[in-house]
């Protein structure tokens, strides 16, 4: 399995980070994409990747951080984006659920990162919350050349079709275990080459939830639900999602 979206630099892993890696390896998680979502986290992400050869990075400015990060940091982000272990730009997008950043700052950073992704030839990792139409409108206007992934996909089959037309994939994590009918139908009917596994650890623990913390080893719960929805065997789900992750992020693993 490849966990295509996690936050293992989070302080909630400070006491047992190596054990988290050990548990992931034990259940068959071979590689992870750490999301380094702003200044300070970028540097931590590179340290983590240096310590763990199976960690790749996405670098970007999260929409909720965009009000605190001056555009002058774009040059640093551009430099980081060219690092050999960086496989994507993001997570970026728009988040209108909470008022963490002005909308104009969010859109300014979103568009800058889409342009950077095209400049360096990398896919984009998209975060959206209560902003789906605005995000898709910008993506359909810009049409990122290397595609990307709709992280934490929790929409319907029509949204999946719009993502497909953009050359995007769907990040499936804990939410797919929560019993959302429209999402279930989207996962059942989406072309198999769109489906990726992710945890968003330490967030969005799959069912059965302890409400404490998510981690990459819990991808097995997501695989179980994916198999129920698609009628697949676990090994089939792992092989398909692994192939899709390798294709999107150009992973030579």
Work out the mean pLDDT of the chain and round it to a whole number.
97
Predicted confidence band at 207 (pLDDT cuts at 50, 70, 90)?
Answer: very high
| Half-sphere exposure in the Cβ direction for 65 (13 Å, CA) | 19
Cα separation values, 161 from 23, 117, 139, 170, 239, Å: 35, 22, 14, 11, 23
pLDDT digits (tens, 9 = 90+) for 143-196: 999 999 999 999 999 999 999 999 999 999 999 999 999 999 999 999 999 999
pLDDT digits (tens, 9 = 90+) for 15-43: 999 999 999 999 999 999 999 999 999 99
Average pLDDT over residues 234-252: 98
Query: Containing domain of residue 186, as a range?
Result: 2-249
DSSP per-residue letters across the chain: -EEEEE-TTSGGGTTTHHHHHHHHHHHT--EEEEEE-STTHHHHHHHHHHH-TTEEEEE---GGGTTTS-GGGHHHHHHHHTSTTEEEEEEEEEE-SS-SS-HHHHHHHHHHHHHHHHHHT--EEEEEES-HHHHHHHHHHH--TT-EEETT----HHHHHHHHHTTEEEEE-GGGGS--HHHHHHHHHS-GGGEEE---BTSSPPSSP-SS---GGGHHHHHHHHHHHHT--HHHHHHHHHHHHHHHHT---
Count of domains in the chain? Answer: 1
Q: Residue 56: pLDDT above 90?
A: yes
- The distance of Cα 160 from the centroid of its chain, to the nearest Å, equals 16
Q: Residue 98: pLDDT above 90?
A: no
The pLDDT value recorded for residue 80 is 98
CATH number, domain with residue 23: 3.20.20.140
């Amino acid at each position: 399995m490849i966990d295509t979206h996690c936050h293992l630099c989070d302080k909630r892993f400070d006491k047992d980070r190596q054990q988290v890696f050990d548990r992931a390896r034990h259940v068959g998680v071979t590689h992870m994409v750490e999301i380094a979502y702003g200044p300070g986290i970028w540097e931590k992400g590179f340290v983590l990747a240096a310590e763990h050869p199976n960690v790749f990075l996405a670098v970007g400015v999260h929409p909720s951080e965009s009000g605190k990060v001056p555009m002058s940091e774009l040059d640093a982000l551009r430099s980081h984006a060219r690092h050999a272990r960086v496989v994507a730009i993001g997570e970026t997008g728009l988040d209108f659920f909470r008022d963490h950043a002005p909308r104009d700052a969010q859109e300014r950073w979103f568009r800058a990162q889409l342009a950077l992704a095209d400049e360096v030839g990398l896919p984009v990792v998209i975060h959206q919350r209560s902003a789906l139409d605005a995000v898709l409108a910008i993506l359909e206007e810009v049409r990122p050349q290397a595609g990307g992934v709709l992280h934490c996909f929790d929409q319907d089959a029509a949204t999946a079709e719009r993502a497909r037309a953009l050359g995007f994939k769907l990040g499936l994590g804990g939410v797919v275990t929560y019993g959302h009918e429209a999402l279930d139908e989207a996962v059942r009917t989406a072309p198999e080459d769109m489906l990726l596994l992710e945890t968003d650890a330490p967030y969005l623990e799959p069912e059965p939830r302890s409400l404490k913390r998510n981690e990459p080893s819990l991808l097995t719960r997501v695989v179980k639900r994916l198999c129920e929805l698609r009628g697949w065997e676990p090994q089939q789900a792992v092989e398909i999602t692994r192939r899709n992750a390798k294709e999107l992020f150009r992973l030579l693993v």
